[in-house]
Amino acid sequence: MALQSLDRFCHWLSETSLSQTIQTVGWVIPAVQTVHILAVAAVVSSALMIDLRLLGLRGTDQPLAILAQRFWPFIWWPLPILLASGAVLIIAEPARDLENPVFLLKMGLLLAATGVTLACQIPLRTDPTFWDISAGRKRVARLIAVASIPLWIAIVFAGRWIAYIQGA
């Protein structure tokens, strides 16, 4: 029943004038995909810089809070851009995304990566030295980075696989 409802919704959405316009104007999808990919690159590279600092591999010459303050805007500001560009891509081909298990995986990974990123950021808001105070906290910070890096990489892979995996 739920799949039938989703099928009907996808069919309805793909028949709307907005969807038809996005599908037929040749430059819209490539332009939106380019914006989407650039926003993903900003988020992933910024998260990686923070993660490498958490692991003690890069940026150790400056406090984590300072480095993170520089890169967090490039994680959070592109998210609305990703939401908008992703919505346009869904409207263009709703069944390709909404009925695709890889798209659902990507959204789950995004929620997890966002949660891990927040787990690092929130304590630093109240105490800029939070992750540097004790060996135990440093271990937790490294675990956050070890979780974060594969999550963001998996999001990139899932985003690419959406085009090649058929939905239900």
CB 158 within 8 A of CB 105: yes
**Per-residue confidence (pLDDT) for residue 139, from 0 to 100:** 95
SS (H, E, C) the chain: CHHHHHHHHHHHHHCCHHHHHHHHCCCHHHHHHHHHHHHHHHHHHHHHHHHHHHCCCCCCCCCHHHHHHHHCHHHHCHHHHHHHHHHHHHHHCHHHHHCCHHHHHHHHHHHHHHHHHHHHHHHHHHCCCHHHCCHHHHHHHHHHHHHHHHHHHHHHHHHHHCCCCCCC
Angle at 57 between CA 37 and CA 125, to 5 degrees: 75
Q: What is the pLDDT of residue 155?
A: 97
Instruction: Write out the chain's pLDDT in tens, 168 residues.
Output: 667 899 999 999 999 999 999 999 999 999 999 999 999 999 999 999 999 999 999 988 999 999 999 999 999 999 999 999 999 999 999 999 999 999 999 999 999 999 999 999 999 999 999 998 899 999 999 999 999 999 999 999 999 999 898 865
